[in-house]
Amino acid sequence: MQLHTLWFVILAVLWVGFFVLEGFDFGVGALHAVLGRDDTERRVAINTIGPWWDGNEVWLVVAGAGTFAAFPGWYATMFSALYLALLLVLAALMVRGVAFEFRGKSDDPRWRATWTWCMTLGGILIPLLIGVGLGDLLVGLPIDARHEFTGGFLDLLTPYGLWTGLTLLGLCLLHGATFLKLRTDGDLRARAGIAARPLGWAAIGLVVGFVVWTRIVNGHTQVPGPVEVLALIAVVFAALLAAGDRDGWAFTASAIAIAAVVGSLFIDLYPHVMVSSTSAAYDLTVANSAAGHYGLVVMSIVTAIFLPLVLLYQGWSFYVFRARVSAAGRPRSPGSAASPAAP
């Protein structure tokens, strides 16, 4: 495997990791104001993601930095084309992060309500906007012979991109509901289970539409590929399992569904990294937008050393904070540390 292909795979893995890990954070943030009937239950919902929400965002940062280092041509065109959309994502990320820290700084109901809705809107907008951007990479944007974006903001709102954004948002909401079922108890867990049923059926419809539309965009009429079939199977299992008491399996199935949808985007995109709707001759590929060989070698060595360490640390953190969070804001089982989120 050539190094530029290897780095395309690494970036795809980073995007998959971001949506799988940050997806339940987005889902919980978007749902906590609806499922939590009072401030205590909303605090419990926030505490379930307290140990991880900021660390999970690092996957997005590394994906952006990796694109800059491994594919500077892709980075330059993509960030120029999606500049305003990415600015909105950055603003939503900042507001969402501030909401986690500031929500518990005052007991004023209006203060808490303001930050609650900031967290809710952030959990909705971020996966939606990023999904639109990822869908645009595949369906194509107006790019000229110099690999410069020649369109405007409305050109980013492609129907396929919008559907991809809605699909990832729907999966994140289902992922968040299954995570709340896994990490809470009592009435909040019961409500999360009830919400997971319509969210599951909505996610099934969105994924089916995504798979069919992706086949059309790629000009394929044959049956879906293995990863797309996996996405369909996983989202169905997630919807069915979320209605019962198999919380761990439901969460696993929703994680697989998100991973398969994001992964299928990059599989269908390769060997391109960005499609030009102006002319196929202007497409950006892994070959014509990659960095030099020496830089890719150094990056590969660094990644081989540090990525396993990051995965081990994240796995350990999930093990440490594995207990359910009760209405008192503490893990239910004794001997486990409490989630450090703001009350």
180-225 residue pLDDT tens: 999 998 899 999 999 999 999 999 999 999 999 999 988 766 778 8
**H or E element: which one contains 163?**
helix 159-183
Tell me if 255 sits within 8 A of 233, measured CB to CB: no
Mean pLDDT of 105-117: 89
| Cβ neighbour number for residue 187 with a 10 Å cutoff | 13
| The one-letter amino acid at 334 | P
- Rounded Cα distance between 24 and 11, Å, is 20
- Rounded Cα distance between 229 and 85, Å, is 30
Q: Which whole-number Å values give the CA distances from 318 to 51, 83, 127, in the listed order?
A: 9, 34, 22
Tokens representing residue 312 in the block: 């081990």
Residue 328 has pLDDT above 90, yes or no: no
| Residue of 140, 143, 142, 93 lying closest to 121 (CA atoms) | 93
Share of residues in the chain with pLDDT > 70 (%)? 94
| Residue of 76, 89, 102, 83 lying closest to 18 (CA atoms) | 89
By CB atoms closer than 10 A (0-12, 13-18, 19+), residue 87 is exposed
Residue 335 has pLDDT above 80, yes or no: no
- Eight-state DSSP code of residue 49: T
pLDDT band at 339 (very low <50, low <70, confident <90, very high): very low
- Rounded Cα distance between 142 and 144, Å, is 7
- Rounded Cα distance between 270 and 5, Å, is 9
Tell me if 7 sits within 8 A of 66, measured CB to CB: yes
Q: Which residue has the higher pLDDT, 26 or 322?
A: 26
pLDDT for the residue 336 = 37
Backbone φ and ψ of 149, nearest 5°:
-70, 130
pLDDT for the residue 333 = 42
pLDDT band at 44 (very low <50, low <70, confident <90, very high): very high
pLDDT for the residue 266 = 96
User: Can you tell me which residue has the tokens 């990832």?
Assistant: 168
- Rounded Cα distance between 302 and 300, Å, is 6
pLDDT for the residue 220 = 66
| Residue of 159, 92, 100 lying closest to 130 (CA atoms) | 92
* Domains within the chain, CATH numbers bracketed: 3-320 (1.20.1630.10)
Tell me if 8 sits within 8 A of 285, measured CB to CB: no
Tell me if 196 sits within 8 A of 250, measured CB to CB: yes
Residues 6+ apart with CB under 8 A from 110: none
Residue 169 has pLDDT above 90, yes or no: yes
pLDDT for the residue 338 = 37
pLDDT for the residue 106 = 84
pLDDT for the residue 294 = 93
Tell me if 181 sits within 8 A of 193, measured CB to CB: yes
Please report how many Cα atoms fall inside a 13 Å half-sphere around the Cα of residue 239, on the Cβ side: 19
| Cβ neighbour number for residue 318 with a 10 Å cutoff | 12
- Rounded Cα distance between 194 and 186, Å, is 13
**H or E element: which one contains 274?**
strand 272-274
pLDDT for the residue 262 = 97
Tokens representing residue 95 in the block: 């507001």
User: Could you tell me the pTM of the whole model?
Assistant: 0.91
- The overall average pLDDT reported for the chain is 90
